[in-house]
């Protein structure tokens, strides 16, 4: 999942326009979450008490005046002493559209040894370096069912974690078409339909069962990352003019020379 879009401050007019759009689009337009290394780990959404964590001083101020909602629940307390995700990882090369590893289903993780922990760390490090909000293992060339995320929902609640062998067990609610991009198609985006709610089940690196539920932009992220592990990119979901426009933009993109055959 992409940085939402560009990591640079946007013209004020676009902020104003984003504010006037539905919540999902506005959230997508804010686009900062992946640019900040996490110093607080957040548990399940919508559990109080709430703490406002201002983003000032943590990255470019886009003038949106938004704050992160952060829960102070037992997960936060339990994980406070853990290292920052990605701090021991190495930034890996991002695989680009057309690379075969992006277009084939990933395999189930069966080895929960140190290599898996290193993979998760590398995923976080690479995601943060690219200012993304989610990253699947095959995007760094590893064909295993693993993804990481550090992503806000439409209420600005931050969700951070990883899932091994995820299964999208529910995707429902209204269908929302929102701007969506991908770190494997850098700089591009297209209106893509996603359900407004998604539930993913899998396990942690310790093999413990985990269930992640998301709404709004975070639900989009969960669906996007599960798609990756099934060998699908958002471009595969587009039809008609939207697909034509995106593929034209792919051909014109600076990275098109390194992209493999697609479309």
Nearer to Zn ion, 182 or 238 (CB): 182
Sole window of 178-186, 197-205, 210-218, 235-243 interacting with Zn ion (rule: CB under 5 A): 178-186
> Among the candidate windows 10-18, 21-29, 176-184, 242-250, which touches Zn ion by CB under 5 A?
176-184
- Is 182 one of the annotated binding-site residues? yes
Contact with Zn ion (CB under 5 A) among 182, 198, 200, 229? 182
70 in contact with Zn ion (CB under 5 A): no
Please work out the total of residues on this chain that contact Zn ion, with binding judged by CB under 5 A.
Answer: 1
Q: Has 189 been annotated as catalytic?
A: no
Tell me: does residue 219 bind Zn ion (CB under 5 A).
no
CB nearer to Zn ion: pick between 151 and 182: 182
By beta-carbon proximity to Zn ion, the closer residue of 19 and 104 is 104
* In the complex, minimum distance from the CB of residue 89 to Zn ion, in angstroms, rounded to a whole number: 18
Please, which residue, 70 or 179, has the CB nearer to Zn ion?
Answer: 179
Nearest Cα residue to 41 out of 167, 149, 155: 149
In the chain, which ranges are continuous DSSP H helix? Answer: 12-20, 23-30, 74-79, 114-129, 216-229, 234-237, 240-252
CB atoms within 10 A of CB 231: 16
Are 148 and 124 a contacting pair, CB within 8 Å?
Answer: yes
CA gap 120, 162 in Å, rounded: 7
* Cα–Cα distance, 156 to 158 (Å, whole number): 6
Instruction: Find the helix packing angle between 12-20 and 23-30, rounded to 10°.
Output: 150
Can you read off the two tokens belonging to residue 77? 């307390």
- Kindly indicate which of the ranges 33-41, 59-67, 142-150, 181-189 contains the residues binding Zn ion, using the contact rule CB under 5 A: 181-189
Least Å from the CB of residue 67 to Zn ion:
27
Q: Least distance in Å: CB of 107 to Zn ion?
A: 19
Which residues neighbour 78 within 8 Å (Cβ) at sequence distance 6 or greater?
Answer: none
Q: Is 177 helix (H, G, I), strand (E, B) or coil?
A: strand
Binding residues for Fe cation: 182, 224, 228
By the criterion CB under 5 A, which residues form the site for Zn ion? 182
Q: Which of the residues are catalytic? A: 225
Binding residues: 182, 224, 228
């Amino acid at each position: 999942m992409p940085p939402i879009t560009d990591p640079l401050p946007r013209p004020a007019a676009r902020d104003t326009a984003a504010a006037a759009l539905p919540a999902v689009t506005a959230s997508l337009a804010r686009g900062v979450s992946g640019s900040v290394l996490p110093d607080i780990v957040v548990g399940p959404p919508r559990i109080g008490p709430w703490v406002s964590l201002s983003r000032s001083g943590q990255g470019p101020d886009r003038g949106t005046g938004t704050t992160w909602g952060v829960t102070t629940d037992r997960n936060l307390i339990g994980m406070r002493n853990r290292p920052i995700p990605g701090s021991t990882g190495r930034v890996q090369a991002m695989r680009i559209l057309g690379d075969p590893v992006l277009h084939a289903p990933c395999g189930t993780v069966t080895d929960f040894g140190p290599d898996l922990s290193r993979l998760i760390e590398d995923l976080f490090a690479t995601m943060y370096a690219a200012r993304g909000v989610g990253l699947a293992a095959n995007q760094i060339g590893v064909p295993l069912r693993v993804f990481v995320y550090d992503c806000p929902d439409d209420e600005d609640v931050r969700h951070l974690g990883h899932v091994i062998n995820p299964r999208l067990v529910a995707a429902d609610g209204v269908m929302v078409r929102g701007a969506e991009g991908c770190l494997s198609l850098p700089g591009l985006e297209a209106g893509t339909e996603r359900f407004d709610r998604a539930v993913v089940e899998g396990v942690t690196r310790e093999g413990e069962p985990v269930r992640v539920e998301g709404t709004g932009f975070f639900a989009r992220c969960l669906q996007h990352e599960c798609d990756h592990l099934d060998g699908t990119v958002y471009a595969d979901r587009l039809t008609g003019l939207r697909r034509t426009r995106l593929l034209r933009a792919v051909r014109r993109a600076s990275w098109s020379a390194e992209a493999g055959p697609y479309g």
